[in-house]
Amino acid sequence: MKNKTVNWGIIGLGNIANHFANDLALIPNAHLRAVASRTKKKAKEFAEKHKAEKAYGSYKKLLKDKTIDIIYIATPHDSHAELSIAAMKAGKAVLCEKPLAVNKKQVKKMIKTAKKQKVFMMEAFWSKFNPSVKQSIELAKNGRIGEVNYVNADFCFYKDAPPESRMFNLDLAGGSLLDVGVYPIFLAYSIFGKPKEILATARFHDTGADIQTAAILKYKKGIANIFCGFVSESDTVAKIYGTKGCIYIDSRWHETQSFRIIDGTGSNKMQEIKVNPTRGKGFTYEIEECMQCLHNGQLESDQWSHKNSLELITIVDEIRAQCGLKYPFE
Ligand SMILES: NC(=O)c1ccc[n+]([C@@H]2O[C@H](COP(=O)([O-])OP(=O)(O)OC[C@H]3O[C@@H](n4cnc5c(N)ncnc54)[C@H](OP(=O)(O)O)[C@@H]3O)[C@@H](O)[C@H]2O)c1
């Protein structure tokens, strides 16, 4: 059973699906069985490039393929819930891109479906499995830099795209918060848990999508300062501070290869710690986690559980409520 081949399907053949498929090819026993696009031509080209056996010109056809064990969903955020639920109802395990869905209500429905259908489901929060991010969080939580009381993390890039693109189109839940803001929120949540208080504000595109969002998350023993945006670059170094030192997760921190630490034990100099470079782009670790969970018969990951996804989107919902950010389909 341990060496059993797992047949993967991919839905939505855009930018991230390409990176994911490259990494999938690096995993022994992971087999790209089929891919699905809204157009047959694109599916065929993608299948040829990534050596998938089958190319479907419709998502529904892939759902009906009985040979597929798990489906990776890589469409814009607005369709994550609907497609994941359809896949689970078809008896498939699901790895769905972040954010798992656009709001708490949708995430709850997805979790309910996973439980009812008794299938595995995980949000593809790849940073959770990045070796340097993982080690940084572990060190911070194990007291290596004393009592952690401040996290400062951002994720910005300059995006020049038409208003109808998935980045700015509100019908597709566009905007920086759901696209990249979830990463700094994830880091704060991984260190501190659920915030006691949130203060948030945002600036908006003409479409209504957020282009800069800032939030202060307050906890009993600390504060996290998070920022995301599409109108400038930022240093994308995540900083975790404690009473005895600090950890810098190097840029771009969500997919980093290294981090630095001052831990108060020595010369007070930054010490760079190179964790092994990520295998592939770094999707390999979440893929392995899915395969391990399937092998164990788990319905969710212990590392990034349903509860984690639900608590994270609850924070996002509160930030959106404070910023007055609503999607037309809500
Ligand atoms: N983990 C990461 O590092 C990472 C990075 C980037 C994005 N993501 C996530 O992955 C998802 C996809 O992002 P992406 O950058 O890959 O987007 P993308 O390049 O625009 O690709 C999305 C794909 O979804 C399909 N799609 C279905 N309905 C669509 C619609 N109404 N409009 C546009 N495309 C539609 C299309 O595939 P077909 O034409 O083949 O049907 C499209 O190519 C997002 O939820 C995002 O948050 C994750």
Pocket around ligand 1 at a 6 A CB cut-off: 12-17, 37-38, 42, 74-77, 79, 97-98, 124, 126, 166, 172, 179
Positive/negative CA dihedral, 251, 199, 99, 288:
positive
How high is the pLDDT of residue 267?
A: 64
Average of pLDDT values for 255-284?
A: 86
From 45, 97, 155, the mutation candidate for ligand 1 (largest count of ligand atoms within 8 A of CB) is 97
Class of domain 6-125+282-300: alpha beta
Contact 56, 34 (CB under 8 A): yes
Cross-strand bridge partners of residue 146: 144
For 98-114, the pLDDT digits (tens) are 999 999 999 999 999 99
Taking CA atoms only, the protein residue closest to ligand 1 atom 4 is: 16
Where do the H-state alpha helices sit in 142-181?
176
- Residue 266 — very low, low, confident or very high, per pLDDT cuts 50/70/90? low
131-277 matches 6-125+282-300 in CATH topology: no
Contact 25, 73 (CB under 8 A): no
From 13, 16, 60, 123, the mutation candidate for ligand 1 (largest count of ligand atoms within 8 A of CB) is 16
Contact 102, 330 (CB under 8 A): yes
Average the pLDDT over each of 115-129, 214-228, 264-278, 306-320 and give the range with the smallest value: 264-278
For residue 172, the CA-to-ligand 1 centroid distance in Å is 10
Average of pLDDT values for 277-284?
A: 96
* pLDDT exceeds 60 at position 1: no
Phi and psi of 166, rounded to 5°? -65, -20
Contact 193, 135 (CB under 8 A): no
How high is the pLDDT of residue 276?
A: 77
Ligand 1: atom nearest CA of 169 is: 32
Average of pLDDT values for 81-107?
A: 98
For residue 161, the CA-to-ligand 1 centroid distance in Å is 14
* pLDDT exceeds 50 at position 275: yes
The C-alpha atoms of residue 154 and residue 2 are separated, in whole angstroms, by: 39
Average of pLDDT values for 61-70?
A: 98
Where do the H-state alpha helices sit in the chain?
15-24, 40-50, 59-64, 80-89, 104-117, 131-141, 176, 182-192, 284-296, 306-323
Ligand 1: atom nearest CA of 78 is: 45
How high is the pLDDT of residue 274?
A: 78
For residue 87, the CA-to-ligand 1 centroid distance in Å is 17
Tell me what the pLDDT averaged over the chain comes to.
Answer: 96
Domain parsing of the chain, residue ranges:
6-125+282-300, 131-277
For 7-26, the pLDDT digits (tens) are 999 999 999 999 999 999 99
For the segment(s) 131-277, the CATH number from 3.40.50.620, 3.90.550.10, 3.30.360.10, 3.40.50.170 is 3.30.360.10
For 202-241, the pLDDT digits (tens) are 999 999 999 999 999 999 999 999 999 999 999 999 999 9
* pLDDT exceeds 70 at position 307: yes
The one-letter amino acid code at 327 reads Y
Ligand 1: atom nearest CA of 125 is: 1
Rounded to two decimals, the pTM is 0.98
Give percent above pLDDT 70 in the chain: 98
Average of pLDDT values for 28-47?
A: 98
- Residue 46 — very low, low, confident or very high, per pLDDT cuts 50/70/90? very high
* pLDDT exceeds 60 at position 42: yes
Write the CA distances from 42 to 11, 18, 75, 205, 252, integer angstroms: 12, 12, 14, 31, 30
Average of pLDDT values for 183-189?
A: 98
* pLDDT exceeds 50 at position 265: yes
Ligand 1: atom nearest CA of 126 is: 1
